[in-house]
Structure formats: C-alpha cells, structure tokens
Amino acid sequence: MAVLLPGAALAAEEALDAGALRAAGGSLPVMTYAPPSDGKEALFARGIQGMVRIRVVVGTDGALRDASIADSSRSPELDAFALGLVGRMTFQPAKDKAGQPVAVIAHFPMELWKDSAMDGTLFAKSCGDFVMDADWFRQAFPEKRPDQLRGWLLLTGIFVAQRYSAGAKLGTGPDFQAVYDACRAKPKRKLVDMYKQLES
C-alpha cells in the first residue's frame, strides 16, 4: 500500500537513506505540520488500534514524494488512515553536513492507540470496550498472548506502580482471562473497578 504524491518524480535511488545521512553528519527532515487525526475514533470504536511504521521519501524542497507501509498494524483500515495523515504532513527538507537540502528515505512509527493514562481514557474504559479490544487483538495477533494487549499492560503497570509506591507487596495482579470473563458478564462496569475487585 502506498500513496504517490503530486510533484516532480523522485527515484528512490536519488534519495539518501536516513541512517546513512545521519552517520555522515546530516540532519533529517523536520515535520512542520501534522494534520489532526480526526476519524480515528470510528476505528477505535471497533477495537482497531496499533502502530504503523511508514516509509517516506522527502524531496529536497521538503515535499513528500512517496509514502508506503513498512510495517502494518494488521488492519488495512488503520494503515490507510495512517497513510492519509502522512499524505497531508509538511516537512522542512533533510540537509547534508554542509547544510544543503537533500532528498531522503526515512521510516517513522505512527502510534494510534485508544487507551491513555494521561488523558483519562484508560480509567473511563468500560468492561465491554475492553472485551471488544481484546477480541480484536486476538484476531489480529493470534501469535501473541492476549495479556500483551497494550491497554492491559498499561493498566497492570499503573497498579504495580501504585502498590510499589505504597510499599505494598507487588504480587502479579489478577489473571487476564479472569478479568476478560468477568467483563463479558458485566460489560457496563468500569474495567478499573473489575480489575480492583479481582485483584483483592
């Protein structure tokens, strides 16, 4: 999957690799505008979230010449959403050691996660929302353990940190499957409250 942007064609072989450019004393492109990520909520409402690693080619004028998926989120919809955002970004060009603009091939991760301890979304999360996220994660990443779900890791980390700061015995916390099953039975309950109940 790729996005071809208007503008002068730029062959990949004319662009320097970002690692090689930095090793030679150059600087990478600087993002000057990142569009709002409006629309991600529709994906989040279905449990779809993750990290997309994107390969970009930025020209000597700072224009984005090409963008493609280097590592997929395993959701074609999320990948397409991330590419759409990148296609609207603007950059200052990369520069060589002498300060001259150069074309560059770079990779960067775009993280599109629905749970955050910083904005309170994790603490407001319902059991039903947790079950939906877990079901999507299991379907998208069958090779991973379900307790590797990012929201679960965040929640567990917060409770471990709280116990540590209070001088309490750390323990292991409740079992993922036990919380998942209890949340399926009571989807309107807050995930944090269910976690606390099963932790004790």
pLDDT digits (tens, 9 = 90+) for 72-100: 999 999 999 999 999 999 999 999 999 99
Q: What global pTM score does this model have?
A: 0.83
Domains of the chain: 2-112 (3.30.2420.10), 121-199 (no CATH)
pLDDT exceeds cutoff 70 at 5: no
Number of neighbouring beta carbons within 10 Å of residue 6: 7
- The per-residue pLDDT for 163 is 74
4 confidence band (pLDDT: 50, 70, 90): very low
Strands across the sheet containing 50-58 = 2-4, 64-71, 50-58, 104-112, 16-17
pLDDT digits (tens, 9 = 90+) for 133-175: 999 999 999 999 999 999 999 999 988 887 767 666 666 689 9
Q: Which residues of 67-93 are buried (b: 16+ CB within 10 A; e: fewer)?
A: bebeebbebeebbebbbebbeebebeb
